[in-house]
Amino acid sequence: MRRRKVIGGLLLAALLLTACGPSSRWEGRYLSRATVPPGPQVQLHLEADGKGRWTAGSETVPLRWETRRQALWLHTAAGAVLVAQADAAARTLTVTLPGVGVVTFYPTGP
């Protein structure tokens, strides 16, 4: 059920769409830690070519990503957009998902 909320959060954020480019400083693998309320872990993999994937449980959503004004914009093939606030010093990404809460992603490797 929570996976559906995470995927639904991706789809509900579909109001913002434009294009810039990926930044190599953000490529890599990330693992989530939900802060409010505790939820399932989500894996985020950002590739150098601006492509990536969001995995929650057994569901994987392909995406493309770009940097824009201190944020990473994650675009799904279905047209949804999530804006992740980027903390360059800590190298973390924080997203607020409707119906789920605040989710922070921490780097786990290249």
- DSSP conformation letters of the chain: -HHHHHHHHHHHTTT-----B--GGG-EEEEEEEEES----EEEEE-TTSEEEEEETTEEEEEEEEEETTEEEEEETTS-EEEEEEETTTTEEEEEETTTEEEEEEEEE-
Look at the alpha carbons of 101, 45, 42, 75 in this order and tell me if their dihedral is positive or negative.
Answer: positive
The pLDDT tens digits for 60-101 are 999 999 999 889 999 998 999 999 999 989 999 999 888 878
The pLDDT tens digits for 3-38 are 555 555 544 333 233 334 445 689 999 999 766 566
